């Protein structure tokens, strides 16, 4: 997929979506085939299971499907509300994986998890064929980093299957995105892009309630772009769709702290908590146990603790 294809596909102009309802609670509840995700008074946590040899942090750790499934089960035990299964690395410069290879990586993990966990499973793919097979095996949500742009069949699939879909912003492709990210006004452009893709999805037949938006931290962004977007999350939250943020162990944290991915836990938790207070509904993380504890405290500060002694 060339950049030219991506930028010409489905874009209906740079205007921001004026017609979106403001957040009224409606946008915080997501219905899935395996239950409801209610983010009205609690942050939803998505645990990352990469079944890849080359992901930037956990690449190569879960090539055995039994190990990947066991990790998913322990994420659920420690507080994951969703498990996100990916079979193609999206780190900057990562190679494209064939559909067959991606299917061989993710399906055995989804099959095992579906037998053992009740939480919704999300399939991290931009390929409709992979998403379709994953949904058949029991996945519930499609996490599409291309926001329905890379595969024309994807919008048809999520419409027909009536499943929630994550629309993420990315400038370029994983192969090109960090070459020279450029924006005049990153927050405005990301908001306009997400509004245009929400409109595209709705016109294709996707229910508004099934659309989750995501600024795509680290996808074609400099350190400054990422920080501006995290600071601007309230603007994106006000678009009225559930808002997902993924900052876990990403390069911008390494740039701030001058630390490698395996030393970025504390920075990742700080970013997650900042996102929660800025209005994010779903946080995508590698470290479920640690992040869940931090978020429980953040949620208690935001909403109180039911039955707490005064
Ligand atoms: C697959 N993947 C990697 N980072 C991500 C992010 O920030 N958001 C979403 N939706 N997916 C991501």
* Residue 250 bears catalytic tag: yes
What percent of the chain lies above the pLDDT cut of 90? 81
As a whole number of angstroms, the distance between CA 299 and CA 167 comes to 25
Mean residue pLDDT across the chain = 91
Mean pLDDT of 158-187: 93
Q: Which of 64, 72, 26, 69 is nearest to 45 (CA)?
A: 72
**Radius of gyration of the chain from Cα atoms?**
18
Take residue 34 and report the two structure tokens written for it.
């395996």
Which of 91, 127, 249, 250 is catalytic? The answer is 250
Ligand 1 binding pocket includes 124 (Cβ within 6 Å): yes
Which of 149, 221, 249, 284 is catalytic? The answer is 284
Q: How confident is the model at residue 16 (pLDDT cuts 50, 70, 90)?
A: very low
Q: Which of 269, 171, 266 is nearest to 225 (CA)?
A: 171
CA of 122 to the centre of ligand 1 (A): 11
Ligand 1 binding pocket includes 216 (Cβ within 6 Å): yes
Q: How confident is the model at residue 231 (pLDDT cuts 50, 70, 90)?
A: very high
Ligand 1 binding pocket includes 214 (Cβ within 6 Å): yes
pLDDT for position 2: 33
Position 208 pLDDT exceeds 60: yes
Q: What is the pLDDT of residues 73-132, one digit of tens each?
A: 999 999 999 999 999 998 888 889 999 999 999 999 999 999 999 999 999 999 999 999
Position 146 pLDDT exceeds 70: yes
pLDDT for position 8: 28
Ligand 1 binding pocket includes 145 (Cβ within 6 Å): yes
* Residue 184 bears catalytic tag: no
For atom 5 of ligand 1, the residue with the nearest CA is: 246
Ligand 1 binding pocket includes 246 (Cβ within 6 Å): yes
CA of 40 to the centre of ligand 1 (A): 22
Give the number of C-alpha atoms closer than 13 A to the C-alpha of residue 153, restricted to the C-beta side: 8
What percent of the chain lies above the pLDDT cut of 70? 91
Mean pLDDT of 191-195: 98
Beta carbons of 173 and 1 less than 8 angstroms apart: yes
Ligand 1 binding pocket includes 287 (Cβ within 6 Å): no
pLDDT for position 309: 73
Take residue 272 and report the two structure tokens written for it.
């997650």
For atom 11 of ligand 1, the residue with the nearest CA is: 145
For atom 6 of ligand 1, the residue with the nearest CA is: 246
**CA of 84, closest atom in ligand 1:** 1
Take residue 110 and report the two structure tokens written for it.
């989804």
* Dihedral angle sign, alpha carbons of residues 65, 71, 75, 77: positive
Question: Could you give the residue ranges of the DSSP H alpha helices within the chain?
Answer: 3-8, 65-77, 99-116, 128-136, 153-161, 186-204, 223-231, 233-237, 251-257, 265-277, 288-303
- Dihedral angle of Cα 221, 222, 227, 228, to the nearest 10 degrees: -70
CA of 247 to the centre of ligand 1 (A): 8
Position 65 pLDDT exceeds 80: yes
Beta carbons of 175 and 93 less than 8 angstroms apart: yes
Take residue 277 and report the two structure tokens written for it.
């207070």
Instruction: Write the CA distances from 273 to 24, 75, 128, integer angstroms.
Output: 22, 19, 33
Mean pLDDT of 205-225: 97
- Dihedral angle of Cα 272, 277, 281, 282, to the nearest 10 degrees: 0
Q: How confident is the model at residue 25 (pLDDT cuts 50, 70, 90)?
A: low
For atom 4 of ligand 1, the residue with the nearest CA is: 246
For atom 3 of ligand 1, the residue with the nearest CA is: 90
């Amino acid at each position: 997929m060339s950049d030219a294809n991506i930028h010409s596909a489905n874009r209906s102009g740079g205007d921001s979506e004026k017609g979106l309802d403001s957040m009224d609670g409606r946008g915080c509840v997501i219905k899935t085939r395996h239950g409801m995700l209610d983010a009205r008074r609690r942050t939803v946590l998505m645990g990352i299971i990469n079944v890849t040899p080359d992901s930037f942090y956990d690449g190569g750790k879960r090539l055995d499907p039994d190990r990947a499934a066991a990790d998913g089960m322990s994420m659920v035990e420690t507080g994951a509300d969703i498990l996100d299964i990916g079979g193609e690395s999206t780190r900057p410069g990562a190679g494209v994986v064939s559909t067959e290879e991606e299917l061989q990586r993710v399906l055995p993990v989804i099959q095992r998890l579906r037998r053992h966990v009740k939480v919704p499973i999300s399939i991290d793919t931009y390929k409709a064929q992979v998403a379709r097979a994953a949904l058949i095996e029991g996945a519930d949500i499609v996490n599409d980093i291309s926001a329905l742009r890379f595969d024309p069949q994807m919008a048809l699939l999520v419409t027909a299957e009536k499943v929630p879909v994550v629309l993420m912003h990315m400038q370029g492709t994983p192969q090109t995105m960090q070459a020279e990210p450029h924006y005049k006004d990153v927050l405005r452009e990301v908001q306009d892009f997400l509004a245009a893709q929400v409109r595209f999805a709705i016109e294709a037949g996707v229910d508004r309630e099934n659309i989750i938006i995501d600024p795509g931290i680290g996808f074609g962004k400099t350190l400054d772009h990422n920080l501006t977007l995290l600071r601007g999350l309230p603007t994106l939250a006000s678009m009225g769709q559930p808002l997902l943020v993924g900052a876990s162990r990403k390069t911008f944290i390494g740039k701030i702290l001058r630390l490698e991915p395996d030393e970025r836990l504390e920075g990742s938790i700080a970013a997650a908590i900042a996102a929660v207070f800025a209005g994010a509904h779903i946080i995508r993380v590698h470290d479920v146990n640690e992040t869940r504890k931090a978020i429980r405290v953040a949620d208690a500060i935001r909403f109180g603790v039911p039955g707490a002694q005064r």
